[in-house]
Structure 1
Amino acid sequence: MSIYRKVQAVERVFSSLERDLATFKNATGLQCVSGCGLCCKKPDISAAALEFLPLAYHLFKEGQAYQWLEELDTSSDDPFCRMFRPFLKENESGFCSQYKYRGLICRLFGNAAVLDKNGEPKLVTCQTIKTEKQLVYQKAVQHIAEGRPTPVMRNYYFQLRAIDSELGMKLMPINQAVHEALKIVLSYYAYRKPRRA
């Protein structure tokens, strides 16, 4: 499968997830606390390279892939996500500089469930939501307990792995995942012309 087709397949998974998340958020009211960004400040976020293939392809098309690769190489000791902006400037709406191309983990955390050892879905969210949005949090927990439609993390990871099991299976630090995705795209197009999209 070509890189372009893989990017399209990943984007279809993301689109499906966004619809599922919208349904869940509309039913429960659960959303991130505006302007928080604490989850982006975690130094141990793991991801698969496949999650960032759309980002790498976008950066390649924009002529920024080599610059990003170089910056990731020179800041390889920095554990924080390269896309994260710790300080917002006036008129900026969020902490992620590449929000449209963020990875699967970024889309799922806070608004999805994992299956516990008994196969029951349990909400995975942050302490901020649990304390600052207690009623909404409880409503979401109740929603899940009633067996109503809930995004379950593993389902979307399975969908990614079906696209490319090797690239979708191996988890690594988020910057390394972005780095790997960039190398894959750059290697693929070293002797090919990219599709126009």
Structure 2
Amino acid sequence: MDSIGEICISFSGTYAGAGMEELAALYDLIEKQTSQFCNEFSIACGPGCGTCCEHFMPDITDLEARLVAAYLLLIKRDDRLIERLVEERDSTTGPCPLYRADSPYHCSVYPARPLICRLFGACANGDKQGNAIFRRCRYNLEETMPLALQLGPDVTVMQDYSYALRGIDSSGGDGEFLPKAILAQLEQLSFLIAMIETDRSNPDDTPTPQAS
């Protein structure tokens, strides 16, 4: 297994699978739109920069945490990452326990990374008048992105994506800091995966009754 699509298939028909496909579709849309936005306005992080991950701890929804937990259990299979989450269970300030300085993307779960990680430095915010505003990331000392952009109301902003996420997350909560949120989902999914694998390895072998 090596893709988010395969994770969605694995949990199809379960409570955990509810919303996963919609979340994956939302992430695909975000990747496409933020790439277009960054290309149009020449926005890019500095070479090798991962400073935002070092100084920030995301708060994420249950659905986001579930996808990351599934990625850790089914694709990464790295106990050290889970141990790091346990060590940072109560951390609220960063660095993110999934941060990897030696990775090109600086993230251990990059394909499953949460919403804020996809949008930070790559998306505009909305102002009180409903217009979009982009401001350079304060860590972008290389100045590889514009200082500020005043955009119109037709540009998709962070708030729009946040509303879309909450529209598909049935938990209805405001989110929890990343370590605690993922650990809670890891506990639930570990049990569910064990049940799924047991069902697959022990098919119903009840004999067919003989006709009388």
- Length-normalised TM-score, structure 1: 0.76
Q: Which of 178, 194, 209 is the aligned partner of 1:174? A: 178
Asked if 1:42 corresponds to 2:47, the answer is no
1:160 to 137, 162, 165: 165
Determine if the alignment matches structure 1 residue 103 to structure 2 residue 103. Answer: no
Matched AA of 1:141: L
Q: Distance in 1 between matches of 2:76 and 2:33?
A: 33
Q: Larger Rg: 1 or 2?
A: 2
d(CA) in 1 for partners of 2:30 and 2:199? Answer: 26
> Residue 88 of structure 2 contacts residue 179 of structure 2 at CA under 8 Å; is this kept in 1?
no
SS in 1 for 2:25: helix
Q: Which has the higher contact order (CA 8 A, sep 6+)?
A: 1
| More helix, by proportion | 1
Distance in 2 of aligned mates of 1:61 and 1:115 = 37
Letter in 2 for 1:17: I
Alpha-carbon distance, 1:68 to partner: 4.7
Contact kept, 8 Å, 1:52 with 1:101, in 2: the verdict is no
1:181 Cα offset (Å): 3.0
Corresponding residue of 1:20: 33
Q: Please provide the CA RMSD for this pair.
A: 3.0
Instruction: Return 5+ residue gaps in structure 1 as ranges.
Output: none
Of 14-23 and 48-57, more deviation after overlay is shown by 48-57
Work out the percentage of aligned pairs sharing the same amino acid: 27
Contact 1:115 1:152 in 2 (8 A): yes
The count of residues paired between Structure 1 and Structure 2 equals 185
**How far does the alpha carbon of each residue in 1:60-88 deviate from its partner, in whole angstroms, 9 at most, with x for none?**
22483876545422332454212102x42
Q: Which residue of 1 aligns with 2:146?
A: 137
Amino acid at match of 2:87: T
For 1:83 and 1:170, the matched residues in 2 are separated by: 21
One-letter amino acid matched to 2:67: P
For 1:73, which of 76, 86, 94 is the aligned residue?
Answer: 86
CA distance in 1, matches of 2:77, 2:70: 10
Q: Per-residue deviation at 1:193?
A: 4.0
